[in-house]
């Protein structure tokens, strides 16, 4: 049954990344009642999928899961899989690997035992861990998987001389970023961006809102900032002793150039955050890169040249740009909209 659960888990493939692949088999008297797997990032968990199929037949069944059933993370509204299994009345849960996230490790099994369900772990645990090495490695490093997101103009600028960066990219790119925010559990900006752009950092209806995180050594964030509007939870990391309404202020140590990034990441990991989307600006991105704390980059290049314009909307563009891969480089070329005479 556990081998079958492992095979089901593999169906999640790359689509679940950076979550772990998870499979679940519900069985009774040696017969399979229902199967489930985590199909994609943000999708249903394996246990929830299998329980939905089994319905009331799940009562008295044994659940084989490749990862310890989840416990509610802070800020999560849906019932956790441990709760769903208990409510469905399964009599036994066999988990392969324990959840390596220090915030929840062992708690899923403990909840099941409190509900008088026999819960054990360890069966084919090594196989289960080898399904999602990134996930387990990340948990061992005690920090979330860090994705740097940036948007650049073709002339390599993250913002125009006027300071505005908000409209470098067009609607499709911005909509994709809303999806990314819905998939990441947390998004982060430096105080420079929070002050210059006053971003909301929500998913704009593309899914659930992430936890918003601001790196703000001296607590410069103005009270009227959209990050304090309560539309999503916000953490402001700071070295200041003060607090601001609308956010949770968390004091962490200072380091060269601002706050200690490792301390911030460790605190996010402690709160069960697996993935963090760092949306800039350039100073904060540089700090992550310099310390080797970035795992993935997602870079938009807008075919416009903003160095010479205060307003990125008025910057010269390449109306029909050509993109060519040349060895390890990309060449983007085309006529400029500003060419005169
Ligand atoms: N194109 C894009 O992708 C993009 C994305 C975002 C922003 N932007 C643009 O970028 C500009 C702001 O960028 P920026 O580089 O000036 O500021 P930033 O990277 O947003 O913020 C940098 C500030 O964050 C604080 N900070 C705290 N801990 C830090 C640490 N460990 N390492 C680095 N910084 C830390 C520091 O200020 P404190 O001393 O106050 O803590 C630091 O000055 C804005 O004009 C914005 O429009 C562009
Ligand atoms: Zn779950």
Residue ranges of domains in the chain: 2-138, 142-333
**Is residue 153 lining ligand 1, measured as CB closer than 6 Å?**
no
Cβ 298 vs Cβ 176: under 8 Å: no
Region 5-25 average pLDDT: 93
- Would 2-138 and 142-333 be classified into the same CATH topology? no
Mean pLDDT of the chain: 92
Distance 250 CA to ligand 2 centre (A): 28
The residue whose CA is least distant from atom 46 of ligand 1 is: 193
Cα–Cα dist 279/294, whole Å: 12
Tell me, what's the pLDDT at 139? Answer: 80
Distance 254 CA to ligand 1 centre (A): 16
Dihedral sign, Cα of residue 178, residue 182, residue 184, residue 188:
positive
Tell me, what's the pLDDT at 74? Answer: 56
The Cβ of residue 313 has, within 10 Å, a number of other Cβ atoms equal to: 12
Region 85-89 average pLDDT: 97
**Is residue 253 lining ligand 1, measured as CB closer than 6 Å?**
no
**Is residue 190 lining ligand 1, measured as CB closer than 6 Å?**
yes
The residue whose CA is least distant from atom 13 of ligand 1 is: 281
Distance 174 CA to ligand 1 centre (A): 19
| CATH number of 2-138, picked from 3.40.50.2300, 3.40.140.10, 3.40.50.1820, 3.90.1150.10 | 3.40.140.10
Region 241-270 average pLDDT: 95
Dig out the tokens for 67 from the structure: 């990862």
Residue 42: pLDDT band (50, 70, 90) is: confident
Tell me, what's the pLDDT at 165? Answer: 64
Region 84-93 average pLDDT: 97
88-92, 111-115, 336-340: range with lowest mean pLDDT:
336-340
Distance 58 CA to ligand 1 centre (A): 51
Cβ 229 vs Cβ 212: under 8 Å: no
Write down the pTM of the prediction. 0.77
Cα–Cα dist 144/276, whole Å: 6
pLDDT at 75 over 60: no
**Is residue 220 lining ligand 1, measured as CB closer than 6 Å?**
yes
SS3 per residue for the chain? CHHHHHHHHHCCHHHHCCCCCCEEEEEECCEEEEEEECCCCCCCCHHHHHHHHHHHHHCCCEEEEEECCCCCCCCCCCCCHHHHHHHHCCCEEEEEECCCCCCCCCHHHHHHHHCCCEEEECCCHHHHHHHCHHHHHHHHHCCCEEEEEEEEECCCCCCCCCCCCCCCCCHHHHHHHHHHHHHCCEEEEEHHHHHHHCCCCCCCCCCCCCEEEEECCCCCCCCCCHHHCCCCCEEEEECCCCCCCCCEEEECCEECCEECHHHHHHHHHHCCCCEEEECCCHHHHHHHHHCCCCCEEEEEEECECCCCCCCHHHCCECCCCEEEEECCEEEEECCCCCCCC
| CATH number of 142-333, picked from 3.40.50.10490, 3.40.630.10, 3.30.750.24, 3.40.430.10 | 3.40.430.10
The Cβ of residue 243 has, within 10 Å, a number of other Cβ atoms equal to: 13
pLDDT at 317 over 90: yes
**Is residue 282 lining ligand 1, measured as CB closer than 6 Å?**
yes
Region 131-146 average pLDDT: 83
State which ligand 1 atom lies nearest to the alpha carbon of 215.
27
Cβ 203 vs Cβ 184: under 8 Å: no
Is 47 noted as a catalytic residue in this protein?
A: yes
Q: Which single residue is written with the structure tokens 């081998």?
A: 3
CA 272 to chain centre: 11
């Amino acid at each position: 049954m556990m081998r079958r659960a492992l095979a089901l888990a593999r169906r999640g493939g790359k689509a679940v990344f950076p979550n772990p692949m998870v499979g679940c088999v519900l069985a009774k008297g040696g017969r399979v009642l229902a199967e489930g797997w985590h199909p994609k990032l943000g999708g249903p968990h394996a246990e929830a999928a299998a329980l939905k199929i089994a319905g009331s037949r799940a009562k008295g069944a044994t659940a084989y899961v490749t990862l310890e059933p989840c416990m509610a993370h802070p800020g999560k509204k849906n019932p956790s899989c441990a709760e769903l299994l208990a409510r469905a009345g399964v009599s036994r849960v066999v988990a392969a690997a324990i959840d390596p996230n220090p915030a929840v490790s062992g708690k899923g099994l403990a909840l099941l035992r409190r509900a008088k369900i026999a819960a054990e772990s360890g069966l084919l645990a090594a196989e289960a861990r080898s399904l999602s090495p990134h996930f387990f490695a990340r948990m061992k490093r005690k920090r979330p998987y860090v994705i740097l997101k940036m948007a650049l103009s073709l002339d390599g600028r993250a913002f125009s001389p006027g300071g505005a960066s908000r409209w470098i990219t067009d609607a499709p790119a911005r909509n994709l970023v809303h999806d990314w925010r819905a998939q990441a559990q947390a998004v982060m900006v430096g105080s420079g961006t929070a002050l210059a752009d006053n971003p909301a950092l929500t998913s704009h209806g593309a899914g659930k809102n992430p936890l918003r995180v601001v790196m703000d050594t001296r607590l410069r964030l103005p009270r009227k900032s959209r990050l304090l509007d309560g539309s999503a939870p916000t953490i402001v990391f700071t070295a200041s002793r003060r607090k601001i309404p609308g956010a949770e202020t968390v004091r962490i140590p200072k380091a060269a150039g601002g706050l200690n990034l490792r301390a911030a990441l460790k605190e996010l990991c402690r709160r069960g955050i697996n993935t963090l989307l760092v949306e800039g600006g350039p100073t904060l991105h540089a700090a992550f890169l310099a310390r080797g704390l970035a795992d993935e980059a997602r870079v938009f290049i807008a075919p416009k040249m903003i160095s010479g314009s205060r307003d990125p909307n008025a910057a010269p563009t390449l109306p029909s740009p050509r993109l060519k891969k040349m060895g390890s480089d990309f060449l983007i070329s085309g006529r400029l909209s500003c060419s005169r005479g």
